[in-house]
Amino acid sequence: MSTTQDFTTFGSWLKLTGQLELVTPLRIGAGQGDEFGLADIAVVKNRQGEPYIPGSSFKGVLRSSIEAFLRTIDPNLACLCVTTQTGFDCPTTKSPEDLEAYLAKFKDEDDMYLNGTCRVCQVFGSSGLASKVQIPDLRLAEKWLGPYQLRNGVSIDRDTETAAAQRLFTIEAVPAGTRFTFELLIENGTPADQGLVLLGLRAFEQGMVALGGATSRGLGQVKLTVDHCEEVSNDPKALFDFLVSGTAQEVDEQARTAKIQALRQEVMPHA
Ligand SMILES: [Zn+2]
């Protein structure tokens, strides 16, 4: 079976829908980092002035938290996708100048996928490999009643650790209790690929991930609730049934846990 996306046959997919609720206010920002210099998710406003969370932005945070988790098991499981690393054999870590020579080492895409690509990039994509994960923008689950909350802060000079000439700034935040719709699609993933993504989402379900910058001040705590999960596997019978009835197979909590166990078995075979 091909390990990369092959458009000549029908691939499996798994779709998950739910809601992301703000436990504490979520800062509106460009995602370029907060006053502490931490890069983080972008939360932006649409033309109507309503807040939404770009799916690509959410995906970046999800990917980082999976990377961090896998690296605690084994640093070789996940490259640091944002930096050029030497001595790490994953295409994502190659600079544009080195990439062509690097890619030439492999027979084909499957060869690179199996021998050069780290576990996270196999699922989330890298230079030359499409991502198996799609997350549409997270939009308001109900009508926006506003208003945004304004919070004042004082920026701190990191060298002197004093309030830099009392530089006041204002943070605009989406109020706690606001809910966004959440949808995620995994295409052509193995059970362990799916388990990797589902494991990352568990951290959001357990309220362990904060978004939006200024998180050290208690902002941006979120909680994900999964309402529904369904899949169509590569199994010809499942595909046939889906095409005839339009009904995918439900993936309940137990089945999701089994996929996470498939990943565990793969990355921690002796534990
Ligand atoms: Zn990688």
Side-chain-side CA neighbours of 102 within 13 Å: the count stands at 21
Domain ranges of the chain: 13-69+128-267
Query: Is 202's pLDDT higher than 80?
Result: yes
CB 259 within 8 Å of CB 192? yes
Q: How many angstroms separate the CA atoms of 193 and 70, rounded?
A: 13
CA of residue 222 to ligand 1 center, whole Å: 27
CA of residue 13 to ligand 1 center, whole Å: 22
CA of residue 119 to ligand 1 center, whole Å: 7
CA of residue 128 to ligand 1 center, whole Å: 12
CA of residue 248 to ligand 1 center, whole Å: 31
Q: How confident is the model at residue 146 (pLDDT cuts 50, 70, 90)?
A: confident
% of the chain surpassing 90 pLDDT = 38
Average of per-residue pLDDT across 126-144: 91
- DSSP state, residue 133: E
CA of residue 69 to ligand 1 center, whole Å: 14
CA of residue 126 to ligand 1 center, whole Å: 7
What is the per-residue burial (b if ≥16 Cβ within 10 Å, else e) of 27-43?
A: bbbebeebbeeeebbbb
pLDDT, one tens digit per residue, over 226-269 is 999 999 987 888 888 888 888 889 999 999 999 999 999 999 98
233 is written with which tokens?
A: 């596997």
pTM given for the model: 0.83
- Cα–Cα distances (Å) from 126 to 87, 167, 189, in that order, read 17, 40, 15
- DSSP state, residue 54: -
Which helix (H) or strand (E) segment holds residue 85: the answer is: none
CA of residue 93 to ligand 1 center, whole Å: 7
Q: How many angstroms separate the CA atoms of 181 and 141, rounded?
A: 5
What is the chain's Cα-based Rg? 21
CA of residue 8 to ligand 1 center, whole Å: 26
CA of residue 67 to ligand 1 center, whole Å: 9
Q: How confident is the model at residue 38 (pLDDT cuts 50, 70, 90)?
A: very low
57 is written with which tokens?
A: 């932005």
CA of residue 152 to ligand 1 center, whole Å: 39
pLDDT, one tens digit per residue, over 82-125 is 555 555 567 777 777 887 888 888 888 778 777 778 899 999 98
